């Protein structure tokens, strides 16, 4: 599994409508993903072991999202300074971390409620300031 594999799996979701707790990128009723659904899609596409936790609120409280990421068998927390394309970024808008995105170098791929879809955007300084954690996709047992 390479960074390109991760980014290509994430890119398959570009244009899919945003839907809170959504997990489907297939056309038709129920189609849509959220930022966690994007990470689930990447893990599933790459055959990685993951735990899909649903039932979360639109604005996770406290460390709920971070705790969920920390428990993933396919994610390894790394230092922010070690970020590389293909890594998963944990972000916050206010106090608690509540968003994730795939880092693609000069851009991020994320399912974002504001534009209403999964999109690719420049990794601006404003986005960089929101990053509170970084995770690397790994095969189980590594």
Query: Exposed e or buried b for every residue in 6-36, given b needs 16+ CB within 10 A?
Result: bbebbeebeebebbbebbbbeeeeeebbbbb
Weakly modelled stretches of the chain, pLDDT under 50: none
pTM exceeds 0.75 for this model: yes
Whole-number pLDDT of residue 69:
93
Please check whether residue 85 lies inside any domain of the structure: yes
Domain that holds residue 115: 3-137
Whole-number pLDDT of residue 141:
55
Please check whether residue 142 lies inside any domain of the structure: no
As for how many domains the chain has, the answer is: 1
Please check whether residue 80 lies inside any domain of the structure: yes
Whole-number pLDDT of residue 30:
84
Interatomic CA distance for residues 24 and 43, integer angstroms: 14
Q: Dump strand ranges (E) for 12-116.
A: 23-24, 32-33, 75-78, 88-92, 97-103, 107-112
Q: CATH number of the domain that 35 lies in?
A: 3.90.1720.10
pLDDT digits (tens, 9 = 90+) for 77-98: 999 999 999 999 999 988 889 9
Only one residue has tokens 């839907």, namely 19
């Amino acid at each position: 599994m390479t960074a390109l594999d991760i980014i290509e799996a994430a890119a398959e979701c570009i244009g899919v409508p945003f839907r809170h707790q959504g997990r489907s990128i297939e056309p038709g009723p129920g189609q849509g993903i959220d930022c966690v659904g994007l990470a689930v899609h990447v893990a599933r596409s790459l055959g990685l072991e993951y735990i899909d936790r649903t039932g979360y609120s639109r604005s996770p409280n406290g460390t709920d999202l971070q705790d969920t990421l920390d428990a993933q068998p396919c994610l390894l927390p790394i230092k922010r300074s070690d970020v590389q394309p293909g890594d998963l970024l944990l972000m916050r808008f206010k106090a608690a971390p509540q968003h994730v995105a795939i880092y693609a170098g000069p851009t991020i791929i994320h399912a974002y409620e504001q534009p209403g879809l999964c999109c690719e955007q420049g990794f601006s300084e404003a986005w960089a300031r929101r990053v509170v954690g970084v995770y690397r996709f790994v095969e189980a047992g590594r």
